[in-house]
Amino acid sequence: MDVRAQLVMVFNLDKCIGCHACSISCKNIWTDRRGAEYMWWNNVESKPGVGYPKGWEDQGTYKGGWVAGGNRLRLRALGKVPTLLNLFFQPNLPKLTDYYEPFDFDYGNLYGAGDADDQPVAGAFSQISGRKIESIQGGPNWDDDLSGSRLYAANDVNLEDRGIVEDYGRMFLQYLPRICNHCLHPACVASCPSRAIYKRGEDGIVLVDQNVCKGWRFCTTACPYKKVYFNWDSGKAEKCIFCFPRTETGQCNACAHSCVGRIRYVGVLLYDTERVEQALLEPDDRLVEAHRAVILDPRDPAVREAARKNGVSAQWLDAAVNSPAYALVKEFGLALPLHPEFRTFPMAYYIPSLSPVLSVEGESHELMEHGLFPEVDSMRAPLSYLASLLSGGNRDVVAAALARLIALRVFTRAKNLDQPVPGGVLERAGLDEAAAVRLYRLLTIGGYGERNVIPAQQREEQDPHVRKGAGGFGILKKAGRRK
């Protein structure tokens, strides 16, 4: 057992209102600069939809992630020798227009324009070439809320029945906020011939060393979530850094901090490094269980001992015990990994959305009058869709999570109305009253300190020489192209 700790984020999709406050705060802090205009380390997609970059989930096109062949994993894109042979041109690299060409508006024209018969306008121009853009072809979140679109939503690879997007009685919409998953078996790390990308041992954050990166771009292709971006100005790869300057000091990530829906949880998970690869060899529909098996119980004395031996501090072990992520991912099995079948072992987890609770067959007001919630498989967002998104096609694990959420609602509703709790409702979902109360708090009224349990870095345990070098103002040298 080789126990390590990682900070992970959990998203409660039920509560995401698609406001993009998360994306904006991330952009303001990290990517509001030349070469990074088009990057959204945090982005929020409308589902069904094609996402950002367009169609990222389609690995037939982008060739991201790993495939399990026999008893080993290999990168879907390129092996080691083919990597060297493709240094000069990458067959599956996404291009700028797969994201969008960043633009701004010429506001100066509004007050600088000369006399004319018409009002002056602020025309759009490209932030890269500087040329005027007559008609904008794409932008951040271009298919926002277009879940009924034949152009976008119908091309969502998770849809079993594409007709659903045009059938008013059945169409549905939900949001999917995405950051880098800081995977346990990151394809981006493995694909880098310069070895510039690495996973931090202490907290699992995956980073690109800007000094080492030579801009070979294999990571951009290899990440199945398309969360490594190529900076066209500095010629290097960049990605979400999990706000490490914040989390190291115990503050939560900017996206989580600004989240209007309070849908995000940040906490510690302990995992067994030795079991990761084996778990990823399981067939698609067993991957969620395999994931959960790799995540260890922070109360288990053997686990704690092994963790201590690996240098996980007491403070981190405490945080692991109180971790909202552990409760949601493992203890109650509510949160699921995004596309586990990409086999990078993503460490961002999603609680599938229950809403809208409208049943296809029934009338909503009748349901409400009877104090009932719809059955799992009569819910608006098809189970097959959620299973394709969050469980490698395994409907049972999604259904179990949804059943728990429904039981929780039935229980809480009865409590709130001072009515008797229908018999066996919690038990059938594998919960008891204490668990239900705890989950209720966590999912609804839990405050900042309950949603985010982030242990700071143990500075006193670090080598003073390392600490001295790491405690400055960051990189002050100039990046970019030499002109």
Partner 1 sequence: MLNVFIFVVLPYAALALLLFVTPYRYFSNRLVWSAYSTQFLEQKALFWGSIPWHYGILPVLAAHLVSVILPGPMKAILGNPRALILLEDIGQGLGLLALFGCLALLLRRLRTPMLKAVTSAADLALLALLLVEVATGVYMGIFIRGGPLWYLYTAVPYFHSLLAFNPQVEYVADFPMVFKVHAAGAFLFVAVLPFTKLVHLLYLPVGFLKDPPILYRWRTSKTGE
Contacts with partner 1 by CB under 8 A lie at 80, 83-84, 87-90, 93-96, 126, 128-131, 185-186, 189-190, 192-195, 197-202, 210-217, 220, 230, 232-236, 310-311, 457-458, 461-463, 466, 470, 475, 477-483
410 binding partner (options ligand SF4, partner 1, none; Cβ < 5 to 8 Å by kind): none
Which of 263, 320, 327, 453 contacts ligand SF4 by CB under 6 A? 263
Contact 333, 401 (CB under 8 A): yes
Shortest distance in whole angstroms from residue 34 CB to partner 1: 9
Q: What is the DSSP letter of 378?
A: G
Query: What is the rounded CA–CA span in Å between residue 462 and residue 307?
Result: 17
Q: Which residues neighbour 205 within 8 Å (Cβ) at sequence distance 6 or greater?
A: 7, 182, 199, 241, 242, 244, 247
Which is closer to partner 1, CB of 115 or CB of 463?
463
Q: List beta partners, residue 269.
A: 6
Count of Cβ atoms closer than 10 Å to residue 464 Cβ: 9
Both tokens of 207, joined, read: 């980073």
Which is closer to ligand SF4, CB of 13 or CB of 403?
13
What dihedral angle (degrees, nearest 10) is formed by the CA atoms of 204, 210, 216, 217?
50
Shortest distance in whole angstroms from residue 75 CB to partner 1: 8
Q: Say whether residue 73 binds ligand SF4 (CB under 6 A).
A: no
Judged by CB under 6 A, the chain residues 218 through 247 that form the site for ligand SF4 are 223, 225, 227-228, 239
234 binding partner (options partner 1, ligand SF4, none; Cβ < 5 to 8 Å by kind): partner 1
Closest CA to 354 of 384, 379, 328, 337: 379
177 binding partner (options partner 1, ligand SF4, none; Cβ < 5 to 8 Å by kind): ligand SF4
Stretch that binds ligand SF4, among 111-119, 254-262, 287-295, 391-399 (CB under 6 A): 254-262
Which is closer to ligand SF4, CB of 48 or CB of 374?
48
479 binding partner (options ligand SF4, partner 1, none; Cβ < 5 to 8 Å by kind): partner 1
Phi, psi of 207 (to 5 degrees): -130, 155
337 binding partner (options ligand SF4, partner 1, none; Cβ < 5 to 8 Å by kind): none
Which of 22, 269, 294, 431 contacts ligand SF4 by CB under 6 A? 22
Which of 36, 176, 188, 357 contacts ligand SF4 by CB under 6 A? 188
Query: What is the rounded CA–CA span in Å between residue 332 and residue 182?
Result: 22
Closest CA to 218 of 181, 180, 185, 188: 188
Both tokens of 367, joined, read: 């349901």
Q: Say whether residue 18 binds ligand SF4 (CB under 6 A).
A: yes
Stretch that binds ligand SF4, among 73-81, 102-110, 172-180, 385-393 (CB under 6 A): 172-180
Question: Would you list the DSSP string of 349-392?
Answer: EEEPP-----BSSS-HHHHHHTT----GGGBSS-HHHHHHHHST
Which is closer to ligand SF4, CB of 306 or CB of 442?
442
Judged by CB under 6 A, the chain residues 299 through 328 that form the site for ligand SF4 are none
Residue 353, Cα to own-chain centre: how many angstroms? 15
Which of 87, 121, 151, 260 contacts ligand SF4 by CB under 6 A? 260
Q: Say whether residue 259 binds ligand SF4 (CB under 6 A).
A: yes
Which is closer to ligand SF4, CB of 344 or CB of 359?
344
Contact 281, 221 (CB under 8 A): no
Instruction: Collapse the DSSP code of 126 into the 3-class scheme (helix H, G, I; strand E, B; otherwise coil) and give the result.
Output: strand
Could you check whether the bond before residue 48 is cis, i.e. omega within 30 degrees of 0? yes
Query: What is the rounded CA–CA span in Å between residue 376 and residue 378?
Result: 6
Phi, psi of 124 (to 5 degrees): -85, 145
| Exposure letters 101-120 (e unless 16+ CB within 10 A, then b) | bbbeeeeeeeeeeeeeeeee
Q: Say whether residue 204 binds ligand SF4 (CB under 6 A).
A: no
In the complex, which residues of this chain contact ligand SF4 (CB under 6 A)?
A: 16-22, 44, 175, 177, 180-183, 186-188, 206, 223, 225, 227-228, 239, 258-261, 263, 344
